[in-house]
Amino acid sequence: MKVALVTGGSRGIGAAAAVELAKLGYAVAVNYKSNIEAAKSVCREISESGGIAEAFQADISDSDALDRMFSDIHSSLGEISVLVNNAGVAYIGLLQDMNDEEIKNLSDVNLMGAMLTTKRAVPDMIKRHDGVVINIASMWGEVGASCEVVYSACKAGIIGFTKALSKELGPSGIRVNCVSPGVIDTDMNSELTDETISELCEETPLLRIGTPTDVGKTIAFLASDEASFITGQVISVNGGII
Q: Which of 5, 8, 21, 27 binds ligand NAP (CB under 6 A)?
A: 8
Closest approach, Cβ 211 to ligand NAP, in A, equals 10
- Gap between the Cα atoms of 142 and 17, Å rounded: 22
- Gap between the Cα atoms of 22 and 29, Å rounded: 10
Q: Is 189 in the site for ligand NAP (CB under 6 A)?
A: yes
172/213 with CB nearer ligand NAP: 213
Q: Is 138 in the site for ligand NAP (CB under 6 A)?
A: yes
- Gap between the Cα atoms of 240 and 242, Å rounded: 6
- Pair 86, 133: CB distance under 8 Å: no
41/224 with CB nearer ligand NAP: 41
- Pair 136, 84: CB distance under 8 Å: yes
Range list of β-strands (E), 53-192: 53-57, 80-85, 131-136, 174-181
Q: Is 35 in the site for ligand NAP (CB under 6 A)?
A: yes
Is residue 151 part of the annotated active site? The answer reads yes
**Residue 78: what residue type?**
G
Q: What are the residues facing 4 on neighbouring strands? A: 28, 82
Closest approach, Cβ 166 to ligand NAP, in A, equals 19
Q: Annotated catalytic residue: which of 26, 32, 91, 151?
A: 151
- Gap between the Cα atoms of 189 and 210, Å rounded: 11
- Binding window for ligand NAP (CB under 6 A); candidates: 28-36, 43-51, 120-128, 161-169: 28-36
Q: Is 89 in the site for ligand NAP (CB under 6 A)?
A: yes
Q: Which of 4, 149, 183, 220 binds ligand NAP (CB under 6 A)?
A: 183
Q: Is 14 in the site for ligand NAP (CB under 6 A)?
A: yes
Q: Is 214 in the site for ligand NAP (CB under 6 A)?
A: no
Q: Is 239 in the site for ligand NAP (CB under 6 A)?
A: no
- Gap between the Cα atoms of 72 and 61, Å rounded: 17
88/131 with CB nearer ligand NAP: 88
Give 49: exposed, middle or buried? Use CB within 10 Å, 0-12, 13-18, 19+. Answer: exposed
Q: What are the catalytic residues?
A: 151
Residue numbers at the binding site for ligand NAP (CB under 6 A): 7-8, 10-14, 31-35, 38, 59-61, 86-89, 109, 136, 138, 181, 183-184, 186-189
